[in-house]
């Protein structure tokens, strides 16, 4: 049958270039999808996955493609239909129009390219990393220039703040939620130390506690004068945390307090590509409270932690001031850059990029923030420094992690090797709520990003065996969706098996519970009984396993 061309455009491609694709009326849409994927990879050296094809008829002009809307889901081209079912007469196809809209995820192949330079040239990964850092630096400068026309007190006024948060110079203080940065404890140990010190049970110096008590009494006596001063000067309309963050626009961490005269709170802030501001304490009653007399000691503990943090920052900034400013290179990545191996040796690593696994996108109803230059996924690709050959690792920051489950499967070759388990160490530089996990990097693609409708039988066998091992130890995996099944590839790029990743939810059968933010809004199909806060059961894993391959064939 006569071949003809259709022009396709991939949503999210910022070059806004449609490409021609040769096809024929008798070709299945499933095969057309494979052709589009291969053609895009050849032209852009990037990979597109999770493709959805839609028939459209739009102009190829940049302004039109920039505003193109995805048609309803029901209009998506059906894989079992032919091209001729949608374009019946090739002669009527206009060459200067876009005919296919491709909705897909674009994976920059820098994270899959080799580390070793070829012919003395820089690798693609190195070039993309350097470009990312340059963009980060430009974003910092652009932000600083953008806010330099306004004073801190003016910007802190409520109306001005709303306008700023709606524009390009917003800060990441969680208002609105999409403007939320990564946990601030990832950027400097002073924040994690502060939070850990808050939980200390060590007794404070009695003299210090008495000084705090005297201060609280004094603060209550001057309350009316302070309130009067604020009212007269109209300061009620200003947000102290905003004002302080803007007045302290630095490239490194600081702590600030806010509150009315009768309350106080400790916030933390850091300037990454824009300021991140997050609270470290709740608002505290700054005074003597007869109903809760023991809270005076809690307030004293906070004051003591602030003094310790102040000492840490003084040492940090003194050392910083002694260095050549030209040698200070700001980084968008977390500060932890080493771990202690089982041998006791310190292993250093450098971050390459942030990874964006799908596991949280769909499993949580809290949609991810797109406000930050680094995504709000706490998973990063890195390479080890003190090894002979470049070795890639995955660095992950978690609130909870079942390392026992991970180790069980890693021992059987059914999970990446666990190189460092932060949950097993007493040292808590990230504070009481976060741990660092380091594991080997697996060459492959997760099942959620794979478009292969036919998979080797070993994939299903490996998943089956992994569940058997976990269930034999009375452990429920919990989040057995396609993004958490890694298809392992060999040197020839062929799939050789599967490994499970993401052990954040793993827990004991009938004891562990599903997260309260589990997504039940319809874009994830869960086994019956899987609900926020409900008990986790092995049978849930078995049902989810069947869902994995319902649209795929294992041969």
CA distance 437 to 419: 8
Over residues 123-169, the pLDDT tens digits come to 555 667 777 788 888 888 888 888 877 777 777 787 888 888 888 88
- Given a cut of 70, is residue 227 above it in pLDDT? no
Over residues 294-319, the pLDDT tens digits come to 888 999 999 999 999 999 999 999 98
Count Cα atoms within 13 angstroms, Cβ side, for 379.
15
Q: Report the predicted TM-score, pTM, of the whole model to 2 decimal places.
A: 0.72
Please give the pLDDT value at position 36: 92
Mean pLDDT, all residues of the chain: 83
Structure tokens at 22: 């040769």
Please give the pLDDT value at position 414: 97
Size of the chain in residues? 555
185-194, 220-229, 305-314: least confident range: 220-229
- Given a cut of 70, is residue 490 above it in pLDDT? yes
Q: Which CATH class is domain 3-109?
A: alpha beta
- Given a cut of 60, is residue 432 above it in pLDDT? yes
Structure tokens at 103: 């909705």
- pLDDT higher at 293 or 305: 305
Give the strands of the sheet with 495-500, arranged side by side: 444-446, 485-489, 495-500
Please give the pLDDT value at position 240: 58
Model confidence at 90, in pLDDT bands (50, 70, 90)? very high
Over residues 61-82, the pLDDT tens digits come to 988 898 898 999 899 999 999 9
Torsion of CA 390, 376, 432, 392, to 10 degrees: -10
Please give the pLDDT value at position 239: 57
- pLDDT higher at 37 or 405: 405
Please give the pLDDT value at position 358: 38
Model confidence at 199, in pLDDT bands (50, 70, 90)? very high
Q: Could you state, in order of their start, the residue ranges of all structural domains in the chain?
A: 3-109, 135-320, 338-554
| CB-CB contact of 256 with 241 (8 Å) | yes
- Given a cut of 70, is residue 246 above it in pLDDT? no
Please give the pLDDT value at position 32: 94
Neighbouring CB atoms inside 10 A of 308's CB total 15
Give the phi and the psi of residue 535 in degrees, each rounded to 5.
Answer: -65, 145
CA distance 192 to 185: 5
Three-class secondary structure of residue 184 per DSSP: helix
CA distance 555 to 548: 15
- Given a cut of 50, is residue 119 above it in pLDDT? no
Please give the pLDDT value at position 375: 43
Model confidence at 356, in pLDDT bands (50, 70, 90)? low
Residue percentage of the chain with pLDDT more than 70:
83
Region of 432 (left: φ > 0; alpha: ψ -120 to 50; beta: rest) is alpha
Please give the pLDDT value at position 118: 36
Please give the pLDDT value at position 357: 45
Residue percentage of the chain with pLDDT more than 90:
49
- Given a cut of 80, is residue 374 above it in pLDDT? no
- Given a cut of 90, is residue 252 above it in pLDDT? no
Q: Which CATH class is domain 338-554?
A: mainly alpha
Go through 161-192 and write b for each residue having 16 or more CB atoms within 10 A of its CB, e for each that does not: beebbeeebbbbbebeebbbbbbbbbbbbbbb
The residues near 491 (Cβ < 8 Å, ≥ 6 apart) are none
Please give the pLDDT value at position 327: 75
Model confidence at 237, in pLDDT bands (50, 70, 90)? low
């Amino acid at each position: 049958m006569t071949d003809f061309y259709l022009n396709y455009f991939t949503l999210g491609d910022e070059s806004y270039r449609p490409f021609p694709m040769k096809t024929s009326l008798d070709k299945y849409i499933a095969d057309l999808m494979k052709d589009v994927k291969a053609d895009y990879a050849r032209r852009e050296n990037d990979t597109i996955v999770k493709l959805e094809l839609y028939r459209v008829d739009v102009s190829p002009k940049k302004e039109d493609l920039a505003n193109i809307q995805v048609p309803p889901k029901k209009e998506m081209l059906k894989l079992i239909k032919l091209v001729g079912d949608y374009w019946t007469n090739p002669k009527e196809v206009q060459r200067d129009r876009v005919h296919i809209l491709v909705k897909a995820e674009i994976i920059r192949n820098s994270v899959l390219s080799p580390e070793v330079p070829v012919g003395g040239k820089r690798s693609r990964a190195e070039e993309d990393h350097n470009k990312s850092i340059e963009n980060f630096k430009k974003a910092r400068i652009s932000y600083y220039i953008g806010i330099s026309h306004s004073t801190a007190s003016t910007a802190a006024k409520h109306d001005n703040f709303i306008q700023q948060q709606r524009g390009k110079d917003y800060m990441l203080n969680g208002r609105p939620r999409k403007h939320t940065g990564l946990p601030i404890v990832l950027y400097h140990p002073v924040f994690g130390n502060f939070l850990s010190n808050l939980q200390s049970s060590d007794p404070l110096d009695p003299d210090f506690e008495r000084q705090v008590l005297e201060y609280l009494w004094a603060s209550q006596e001057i309350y009316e004068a302070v309130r009067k001063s604020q009212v007269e000067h109209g300061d009620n309309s200003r947000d102290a945390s905003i004002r302080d963050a803007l007045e302290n626009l630095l490239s490194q961490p600081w702590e600030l307090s806010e509150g009315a005269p009768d309350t106080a709170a400790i916030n933390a802030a850091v300037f990454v590509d824009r300021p991140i501001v997050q609270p470290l304490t709740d608002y505290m009653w700054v005074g003597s409270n007869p109903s809760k007399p023991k809270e005076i000691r809690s307030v004293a503990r906070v004051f003591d932690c602030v003094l310790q943090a102040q000492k840490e920052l003084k040492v940090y900034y003194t050392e910083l001031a002694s260095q050549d400013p030209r040698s200070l290179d700001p980084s968008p990545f977390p500060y932890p850059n080493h771990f202690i191996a089982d041998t006791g040796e310190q292993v250093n690593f450098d971050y390459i990029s942030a990874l964006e696994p799908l596991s949280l996108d769909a499993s949580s109803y809290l949609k991810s923030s797109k406000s930050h230059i680094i995504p709000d996924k706490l998973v990063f690709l890195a390479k080890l420094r003190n090894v002979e050959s470049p070795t890639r690792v995955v660095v992950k920051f978690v609130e909870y992690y079942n390392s026992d489950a991970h180790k069980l499967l890693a021992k059987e070759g059914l999970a990446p090797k666990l190189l460092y388990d932060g949950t097993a160490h007493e040292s808590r530089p990230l504070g009481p709520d976060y741990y660092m996990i380091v594991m080997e990097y697996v060459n492959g693609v997760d099942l959620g990003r794979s478009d292969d409708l036919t998979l080797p039988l070993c994939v299903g066998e490996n998943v089956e065996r992994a569940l058997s091992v976990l269930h034999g130890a009375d452990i429920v995996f919990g989040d057995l969706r396609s993004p958490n099944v890694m298809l392992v590839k060999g040197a020839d790029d062929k799939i050789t098996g599967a490994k499970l990743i993401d052990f954040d939810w793993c827990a004991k059968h009938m004891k562990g519970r599903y997260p309260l933010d589990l997504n039940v809004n319809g874009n994830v199909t869960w086994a019956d009984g899987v609900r926020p806060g409900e008990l986790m059961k092995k049978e849930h894993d078995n049902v989810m396993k069947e869902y994995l391959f319902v649209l795929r064939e294992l041969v």
